[in-house]
């Protein structure tokens, strides 16, 4: 099989944080990260609030209800503008 034929699944299955970054595990096994500086609501949130997340749209995004923040996986895949 050609590597050009491989399709990626940009759907999150897990979310975690380090001191300065948001980390997503995708359905196909890839792991992607973005600096918390990109997301001020998450950067300023408590650890408890960051830990209260749920996947939305079958994993195309993540929602944090306590801070009213939604982030699409595609935003992280694209990078910061």
Q: Taking the domains of the chain in order of start, what are their residue ranges?
A: 3-78
Angstrom distance (rounded) from CA 21 to CA 4:
30
Going residue by residue through the chain, which has 81 residues, state the pLDDT in tens, using 9 for 90 and above: 455 554 567 999 999 999 999 999 999 999 999 999 999 999 999 999 999 999 999 999 999 999 999 999 999 998 866
The closest of 11, 23, 15, 21 to 60, measured between CA atoms, is 11
The closest of 47, 35, 46 to 71, measured between CA atoms, is 35
Three-state DSSP class for residue 39:
coil
Homologous superfamily of the 3-78 domain (CATH): Uncharacterised protein PF10387, DUF2442 (3.30.2020.40)
Q: Return the pLDDT at 31.
A: 96
The closest of 54, 58, 60, 63 to 75, measured between CA atoms, is 60
């Amino acid at each position: 099989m050609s590597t050009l034929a491989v399709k990626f699944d940009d759907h999150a299955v897990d979310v975690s944080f380090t001191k300065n970054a948001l980390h997503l595990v995708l359905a196909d096994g890839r792991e992607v990260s973005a600096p918390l500086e990109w997301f001020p609501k998450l950067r300023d949130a408590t650890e408890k609030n960051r830990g209260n997340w749920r996947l939305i749209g079958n994993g195309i995004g993540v929602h944090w209800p306590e801070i009213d923040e939604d982030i699409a996986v595609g935003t992280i895949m694209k990078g910061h503008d």
